[in-house]
């Protein structure tokens, strides 16, 4: 028996925690079948809880006196599985950050020149100082209006990328804490930083975007605190005594790329001058809730093609987010030009989908030997790169960058295309969870669109431990909402097309996302934190809906990117946007009623439940016929009505289910849904007993479908079902990204229904094992590292038998429901379990039922 992965809050590295009372979690590993925790003892420094009779082991309340700023304590947990059987964890050292704004002595400093209409340069900042003795403890606390990279004695501090990340700066500014004891020495030391505009002062957004959204010039705040062996303590903080100089980075921006002149590295090249200084508003500073952006992988090209004019086009075999690292040798002053794109057309980089993002890096050689370079303050979304310039040979590799989340979910099946689809979902999440959950990583946008996250959150929470990242993002959402009076279209908010307006699905992220974090990570704290935001959103829409309870006014995205919508009219869906809005409002009100119950807000629970029922009744009155047909005779309309419990009568639900199957069949099992319907369509079909139709829809290879992009060579999810047309040309729409995760929301159905691993209680403390094999699949499996430990559910079928294996970690129970007539549900505890029942062979799965309709007439074929 082992107690493992003891941690504080949602961070792996508990240095510089922002909470004085961090919650604690741990996992129990044991080979003893059925063993589970019955009691624990937490020890924090000299404080001990004694034995606590409890099975709780996820986000357990801090049991000791609160931490003070900078205070460090060792934490251990002892776990019992019986009266005597116990095990104790290794110690976890937790350390608080600067918890009081008065702890900060640093000012914000920067260069003198304000940026113009183009990407500004990065600047260098430095100061020398003396230490009288060897350092025994040193911490660097750092943040910036912009993006920064700190250095001590010429070496980079930490491995963060684009720190401090992007928050709603006028509400919240994140700071980082580094242990730098090993980078200091007795005697003379030098502290410095690189500083660039980043999200703070650089260009943001589409259609030209905006510069200086938060301020017109970047600045950094560094506070180095050192304790020396002689007992002395020292604080070296940014102030007017520091010096600034131009850096070799002569221009850098998130969209257009970076230009680096290595000749400016030479001794004496920097002209050091005074810094500008302004106060740091420490009341806005917050410690990170999750991991930073890091370099997470390096990919070598799978092919390189030399063009007739001396350029080299590299294919990395994978659409990714990051930048190139090059190794080059050549004459002084020679320039290497790097261009990036997601796709090729006619053998060349096709950059129209980038819109106004240049995605171009330049490196000017210093000469005299081999040189290695990687941009510091930019990232691109690309699979292909072009290398050109005045050198004959350049060795290049792709450095993948994203928030360094822990992978927690996997899926596998007997269908290689389905497995590639799931891989594409994973890569799109990696590419777009770059400090905030963005829509795309390549063009002049890269914004935290709320609608994308609202539909993808369940999938995201299965694949990666994204609780910390989303906790931070939700705090910004609540802050922006409070200022703007509504949930904006994206977070952080940048006004590009006028003021933010309330919109269904997008605004519902305020309720859906905390609900998912509670379900998947067991975090009731996020519900309490976001509760005012959730209430404000539901109350706002209730007011807009009026006494008739239907949200039928104002702007709506509707079922965005319905495949039937014209390329330049992505909101022109087949489903009435007011039907979508009313259904989404009913769902959020019902979710909020459940959340109120979790928080003990009984009055709110009754009020929001009554409101949800009233909205459902209004939905029926306006959009549903007595027999169960919907006013919008479209896949999304039926999927929303069926999965959110909006249909009042059983006969209506039955007829709506039959009609949904008819519509899916009439489209020849091609997808007919956009953002609102895509996460729900397979669940809706499965829920009405049409799982085979869901499989036919899932495994369709003709456009529009999930597998069509796979057959076209996609390695990430596309924004449009037909971002690449069958003839290999790019969709003519202005919005044509090849890395958008929203339609990858179907992966949640793969996990829960195809493989059969679904949460049935917060943090997967209880799971539902209910696989529904089909589609000719011979086997499928899902694996999830839940807060309690690894869960594995898989099945194989052959010779008329279905074999299901289930691995349940300590602290978790399972309800097993197999798809066999007369099968009685089975309860399973911790351990490894095998179940078998009669079930048809893969070759006996029902084939698609095909009707005469426009898609399969001889003329179309």
**What residues act catalytically?**
445, 719
Quote the tokens at residue 763.
């943090």
Quote the tokens at residue 450.
């709320």
Q: What is the 3 state secondary structure string of 656-716?
A: HHHHHHHHHHHCCCCCCCCCCCCCCHHHHHHHCCCHHHHHHHHHCCCCCCCCHHHHCCCCC
Distance (Å, whole) CA 540 – CA 543: 5
Edge-first strand order for the sheet with 409-413 is: 409-413, 779-786, 789-798, 801-808, 831-838
Q: What is the 3 state secondary structure string of 3-40?
A: EEEEEECCECCCEEECCCCCCEEEEEECCCCCCCCCEE
| Beta-carbon contacts of residue 432 (< 8 Å; ≥ 6 apart) | 321, 402, 438, 439, 440, 441, 739, 740, 741
Distance (Å, whole) CA 191 – CA 725: 53
E strands, 404-500, where?
409-413, 433-434, 436-437
Distance (Å, whole) CA 735 – CA 354: 9
**Number of Cβ within a 10 Å radius of residue 711:** 14
**CB < 8 Å & 24+ apart, contacts of 539-542:** 540/485, 540/486, 540/502, 541/502, 541/504, 541/507, 541/585, 541/588, 542/585, 542/589, 542/611
Q: What residues form DSSP beta bridges with 386?
A: 313, 339
- Reference 150, options 221, 95, 77; nearest CA is 221
Quote the tokens at residue 63.
């049991």
Residue 554 sits at φ, ψ, to 5 deg, of 85, 180
3-state secondary structure of 255: coil
Distance (Å, whole) CA 186 – CA 861: 79
What distance, in Å, lies between the first and last C-alpha atoms of the chain?
A: 62
Quote the tokens at residue 580.
């979508």
Percent helix, strand and coil across the chain, each to the nearest 5:
25, 30, 45
Distance (Å, whole) CA 790 – CA 809: 6
Quote the tokens at residue 302.
């799978």
| Beta-carbon contacts of residue 694 (< 8 Å; ≥ 6 apart) | 681, 682, 685, 686, 749, 753, 774
Distance (Å, whole) CA 317 – CA 92: 40
Classify the C-alpha dihedral 625-628-634-636 as positive or negative.
Answer: positive
Distance (Å, whole) CA 564 – CA 512: 27
| Greatest extent of the chain over all pairs of C-alpha atoms, in Å | 89
For residues 621-654, b (16+ Cβ closer than 10 Å) or e, as one string? Answer: ebbbeeebbbebebbbbbbbbbbbebbbeeebbe
Inter-axis angle of helices 577-598 and 509-521, to 10 degrees? 40
Q: 638 with 653: CB under 8 angstroms?
A: no
For residues 201-224, b (16+ Cβ closer than 10 Å) or e, as one string? Answer: bbbbbbeebebebbbebbbbbbbb
Q: 527 with 605: CB under 8 angstroms?
A: no
């Amino acid at each position: 028996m082992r107690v493992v992965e003891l941690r504080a809050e949602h961070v792996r590295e508990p240095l510089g925690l922002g909470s004085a009372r961090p919650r604690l979690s741990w996992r129990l590993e044991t080979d003893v079948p059925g063993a589970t925790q019955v009691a624990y003892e937490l020890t924090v420094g000299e404080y001990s809880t004694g034995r606590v009779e409890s099975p709780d082991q996820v986000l357990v309340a801090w049991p000791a006196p609160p931490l003070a700023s900078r205070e460090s304590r060792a934490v251990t947990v002892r776990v019992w599985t019986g009266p005597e059987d116990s095990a104790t964890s290794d110690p976890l050292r937790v350390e608080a950050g600067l918890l009081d704004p008065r702890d900060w002595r640093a000012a914000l400093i920067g260069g003198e020149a304000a940026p113009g209409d183009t990407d500004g340069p990065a600047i260098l900042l430095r100061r020398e100082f003396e230490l009288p003795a060897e350092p025994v403890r040193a911490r660097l606390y750092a943040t910036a209006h912009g993006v920064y990279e700190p250095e001590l004695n010429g070496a980079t501090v930490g491995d963060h990328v684009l720190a401090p990340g992007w928050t709603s700066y006028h509400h919240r500014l994140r700071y980082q804490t580094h242990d730098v004891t090993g980078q200091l020495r007795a005697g003379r030391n030098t502290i410095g930083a690189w500083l660039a505009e980043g999200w703070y002062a650089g260009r943001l957004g589409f259609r030209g975007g905006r510069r200086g959204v938060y301020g017109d010039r970047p600045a950094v705040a560094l506070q180095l605190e050192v304790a020396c062996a002689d007992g002395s303590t020292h604080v070296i903080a940014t102030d007017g005594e520091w010096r600034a100089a131009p850096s070799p980075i002569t221009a850098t921006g998130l969209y257009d790329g970076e230009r680096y002149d290595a000749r400016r590295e030479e001794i004496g090249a920097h002209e050091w001058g005074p810094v500008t200084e302004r106060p740091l508003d420490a009341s806005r500073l917050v410690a990170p809730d999750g991991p930073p952006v890091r370099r997470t992988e390096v990919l070598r090209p799978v092919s390189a093609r030399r063009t007739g004019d001396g350029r080299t086009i590299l294919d990395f075999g994978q659409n990714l987010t990051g930048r190139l690292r090059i190794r080059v040798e050549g004459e002084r002053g020679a320039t290497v030009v790097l261009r990036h794109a997601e796709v090729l057309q006619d053998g060349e980089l096709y950059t129209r989908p980038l819109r106004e993002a240049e995605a171009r890096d330049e490196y000017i050689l210093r000469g005299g030997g081999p040189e290695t370079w990687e941009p510091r303050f930019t990232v691109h979304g690309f699979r292909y790169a072009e290398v050109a310039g005045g050198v004959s040979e350049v060795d290049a590799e792709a450095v993948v960058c994203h928030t360094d989340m822990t992978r927690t979910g996997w899926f596998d099946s007997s269908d290689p295309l389905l497995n590639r689809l799931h891989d594409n979902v994973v890569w799109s999440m990696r590419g777009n969870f770059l400090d905030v959950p963005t829509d795309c990583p390549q063009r002049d946008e890269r914004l935290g669109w709320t609608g994308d996250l609202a539909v993808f959150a369940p999938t995201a929470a299965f694949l990666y431990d994204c609780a910390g990242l989303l906790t931070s993002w939700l705090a910004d959402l609540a802050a922006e909402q409070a200022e703007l009076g509504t949930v904006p279209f994206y977070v952080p908010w940048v006004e590009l097309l006028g003021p933010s307006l309330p919109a269904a699905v997008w605004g519902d992220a305020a309720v859906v996302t905390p609900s998912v974090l509670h379900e998947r990570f067991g975090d009731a704290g996020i519900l309490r934190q976001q509760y005012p935001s959730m209430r404000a959103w539901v109350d706002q829409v209730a007011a807009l809906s009026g006494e008739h309870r239907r949200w039928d006014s104002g702007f709506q995205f509707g079922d965005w990117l319905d495949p039937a919508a014209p390329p330049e009219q992505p909101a022109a869906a087949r489903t009435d946007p007011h039907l979508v809005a009313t259904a989404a409002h009913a769902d959020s009100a019902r979710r909020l009623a459940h959340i109120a119950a979790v928080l003990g807000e009984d009055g709110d629970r009754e009020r929001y439940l009554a409101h949800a029922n009233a909205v459902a009744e209004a939905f029926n009155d306006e959009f549903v016929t007595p027999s169960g047909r919907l006013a919008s005779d479209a896949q999304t309309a039926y999927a929303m009505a069926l999965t959110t419990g909006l249909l009042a009568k059983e006969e209506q639900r039955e007829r709506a289910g039959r009609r949904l199957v008819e519509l899916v069949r009439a489209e020849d099992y091609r997808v007919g849904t956009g953002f609102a319907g895509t996460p729900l369509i397979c669940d809706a079909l499965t829920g009405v007993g049409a799982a085979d139709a869901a499989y036919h829809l899932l495994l369709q290879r003709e456009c529009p479908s999930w597998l069509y992009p796979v057959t076209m060579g996609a390695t990430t999810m596309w924004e449009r079902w037909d971002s690449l047309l069958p003839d290999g040309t790019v969709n003519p729409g202005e919005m044509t990204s090849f890395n958008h995760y929203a339609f990858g929301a179907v992966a949640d159905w793969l996990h829960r229904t195809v493989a059969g691993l679904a949460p049935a209680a917060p943090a997967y403390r209880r799971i539902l094992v209910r696989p529904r094999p089909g589609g000719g699949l011979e086997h499928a499996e899902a694996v999830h590292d839940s807060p309690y430990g690894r869960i594995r559910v898989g099945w194989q079928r052959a010779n008329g038998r279905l074999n299901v294996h289930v691995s349940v970690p300590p602290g978790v129970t399972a309800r097993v429901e197999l798809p066999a007539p007369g099968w009685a549900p089975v309860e399973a505890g911790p351990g490894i379990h095998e179940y078998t029942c009669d079930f048809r062979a893969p070759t006996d799965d029902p084939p698609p039922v095909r009707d005469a309709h426009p898609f399969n007439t001889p003329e179309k074929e």
